[in-house]
Amino acid sequence: MSIKISEYRIEDLYEGLVESFEFIVTDKMMNDFSNISGDYNPLHKNTDYAKSKGFDGIAVYGGILISQISQIIGMHLPGKNSLWNGLNVNFVNPLMVGQKATIDATIAHISKATSSFKLNIRILYDEIIVLKGSADITIL
C-alpha cells in the first residue's frame, strides 16, 4: 500500500488554501484508542450509559478527532515538511461512531519571516460543527 503525502513548501502556500477529507470513526478505532489512551470512560464504551446522558449513541473520543487534525497537517497541509507548534480546539457538538464526518483546514495567516502559518480547522457532520480550532505550523 502506497501512502500519498503532500510536500508543500512555504512559497507554495497562500491564505485561503483549503485541504479536506472525509472520515468515519469505527468501533475498531474506538477500541484501539481506548487501549492507547487508557481512557475507558463509559461515554465512549457503553451505549446505554451514553444515551442515559442525552447522547444519541457512543460519543467519539476527542482524541480521535485530534488524530484527524494530525493527519490533515502531517499528510495533507503542508504534509511531509510540517512541524506542529500549537493547537487550540473547542468540541462544539458530539460525533457518534459510524457517522461520516468531514475535516477541513484553511490557511488563515502565513508568516514568511518564520516559515510558519496558522490553520483554521473544522470538523463537521452533516453541516453541524463538531470541532472548531486552529493550529500553528512551521515548514521545515
Which residues form the interface with another protein (CB under 8 A)? 85-86, 109, 111-114, 116, 118, 136, 138
Q: At its nearest, how many Å lie between another protein and the CB of residue 106? A: 15
Q: Three-state DSSP class for 48?
A: helix
Which residues, in sequence order, are CB contacts of 114 under 8 Å at separation 6+? 138
- Backbone dihedral region for residue 126 (phi beyond 0: left; psi -120 to 50: alpha; all else: beta): left
Q: At its nearest, how many Å lie between another protein and the CB of residue 53? A: 35
Q: Given the complex with another protein, which of 100 and 112 has the nearer CB atom? A: 112
Q: At its nearest, how many Å lie between another protein and the CB of residue 96? A: 35
Q: Given the complex with another protein, which of 66 and 110 has the nearer CB atom? A: 110
Backbone angles phi, psi at 24, to 5 degrees: -130, 130
Q: Given the complex with another protein, which of 81 and 138 has the nearer CB atom? A: 138
Q: Given the complex with another protein, which of 101 and 119 has the nearer CB atom? A: 119
- CA nearest neighbour of 123 among 89, 84, 97, 79: 89
Separation of alpha carbons 106 and 126, rounded Å = 19
Q: At its nearest, how many Å lie between another protein and the CB of residue 125? A: 30
